[in-house]
């Protein structure tokens, strides 16, 4: 009947954040980063998109969505800490890689040095239809690496208060572009935007001086090879530190 479906990718991101001020999932040590990367590998975003979004979406490799300068297609654009490049496609690392990272982070088989199970908390607002199915799915993702997920659901105002005070471990948020520039996404992880310290948009309270230094240089640059190289360095820092999943 001449009906066509036209699709495009929106300049927006949806992410699970880690509170870097938290004593369990936070911190800037290599062990802490390995814990966050293990969780990032375990949560199969491709499966989530297929089941809950009817295939409408792309698994993010960085804070930059397609259409924003600095986003790169192909092998150059993948997160090498979560994906391998296999036969011309990005493939999520196997769950064994996540288990190895978890052990190196000090939690072999999901247990600490005293044998206590690793329990992490997801702070979220009360959802609507389908929320239970999504949270059950997420709990199973953590179970793949023997980590126990506890969902702490609350109303929106209480959730916002917890975010402002930095009293969360894991959380979900999203961001739509105010203007089509990489700065509008990368500033979300700037140190002076820390929500707990300064009331900014950095809900993970992430602070990396090198990242902030590069961001300050990149902000006012015109799009070109030099700006792209700085953005690449910034994205590698974020992929290593893993403040977002």
Per-residue pLDDT tens for 181-192? 999 999 999 999
CA dihedral over 126, 197, 39, 77, signed as positive or negative: positive
Residues contacting 148, CB < 8 A, separation 6+: 110, 117, 118, 119, 120, 142
Bridge partners, residue 125, by sequence:
154
Going along the chain, which residue ranges are E strands?
Answer: 12-18, 83-86, 89-92, 119-125, 148-154, 170-176
Burial class for 39, CB neighbours closer than 10 Å (0-12, 13-18, 19+)? buried
* pLDDT value for 237: 98
pLDDT over 70 percentage in the chain: 99
Going from the C-alpha of 31 to that of each of 38, 42, 98, 107, 211, the distances in angstroms are 11, 17, 13, 10, 19
pLDDT per residue over 127-174, tens digit each? Answer: 666 788 999 999 999 999 999 999 999 999 999 999 999 999 999 999
pLDDT per residue over 58-108, tens digit each? Answer: 999 999 999 999 999 999 999 999 999 999 999 999 999 999 999 999 999
Report d(CA 190, CA 226) in Å as an integer.
20
pTM across the whole model: 0.93
Report d(CA 197, CA 111) in Å as an integer.
32
Res 233 pLDDT > 90: yes
Res 195 pLDDT > 90: yes
Q: Spell out the alpha helix ranges (H) of 105-208.
A: 131-143, 156-165, 183-186, 195-198
Residues 187-203: what's their mean pLDDT?
97
């Amino acid at each position: 009947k001449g009906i066509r479906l036209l699709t495009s990718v929106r300049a927006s991101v949806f992410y699970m954040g880690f509170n870097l001020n938290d004593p369990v999932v936070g911190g800037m040590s290599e062990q802490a980063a390995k814990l966050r990367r293990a969780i990032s590998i375990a949560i199969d975003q491709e499966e989530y998109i297929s089941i809950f979004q009817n295939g409408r979406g792309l698994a993010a490799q960085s804070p930059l969505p397609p259409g924003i300068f600095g986003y790169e297609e192909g092998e150059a654009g993948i997160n090498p800490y979560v994906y391998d490049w296999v036969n011309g496609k990005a493939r999520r690392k196997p769950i064994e890689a996540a288990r190895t990272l978890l052990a190196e982070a000090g939690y072999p088989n999901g247990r600490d040095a005293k044998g206590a199970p690793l329990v992490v908390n997801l702070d979220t607002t009360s959802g609507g239809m389908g929320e239970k199915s999504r949270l059950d799915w997420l709990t199973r993702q953590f179970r793949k690496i023997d980590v126990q997920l506890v969902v702490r659901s609350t109303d929106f105002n209480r959730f916002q208060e917890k975010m402002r005070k930095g009293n969360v471990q894991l959380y979900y948020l999203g961001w739509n572009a105010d203007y089509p520039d990489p700065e509008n996404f990368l500033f979300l992880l700037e140190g002076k935007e820390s929500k707990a310290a300064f009331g900014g948009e950095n809900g993970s309270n992430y602070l990396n001086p090198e990242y902030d230094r590069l961001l300050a240089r990149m902000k006012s640059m015109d799009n070109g090879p030099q700006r792209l190289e700085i953005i690449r360095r910034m994205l590698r820092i974020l992929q290593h530190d893993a403040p977002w999943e």
